[in-house]
Amino acid sequence: MRQAIKRSALLLAATVLFSSGSALVSAQPAAELSAFGKRIQSAMDSDIRGADDRLRDDNRKPIETLDFFGITEDMKVLELLPGNGWYTKLLALALADEGQLYVAFSNSIKPLIEKHPELSKI
């Protein structure tokens, strides 16, 4: 059952990303970043992210992806099946002041939250 849910979530994410076309997801110069994009950029530069997280940034394009989904700094966001917490680290920091991040997770992400007090608002 879990594998079926994971496969469905991955298929949905891949469908959205690959069907959106390159015109919708393009890099923005720093001067044109949305307020939330600036918060994501700040989170990307955070010390809680390791080298493995940073290596994935070029392929995942977090600023463009989260802007595409219309997430803003004052939203309540639910993250389902966070895996190793790559998006969790970004969203928790970007939403910390005005928004709220809710994470539906198994015990696999608890060590990440315990290790980084910045994520304790989750």
- Read off the tokens for 103: 């994470």
Phi, psi at residue 104, to the nearest 5°?
-95, 110
Report pLDDT for 114. 84
Predicted structure pTM score: 0.67
Instruction: Spell out the alpha helix ranges (H) of the chain.
Output: 2-19, 35-44, 51-60, 62-68, 86-95, 110-115
Contact (CB, 8 A) for 43 and 90: yes
pLDDT (tens digit per residue) in 68-120: 999 999 999 999 988 889 999 999 999 999 999 998 876 777 788 788 888 87
Q: What is the largest CA-CA distance in the chain?
A: 45
The amino acid at residue 31 is: A
Phi, psi at residue 10, to the nearest 5°?
-65, -40
End-to-end CA distance of the chain: 26
Domain boundaries, the chain: 33-119
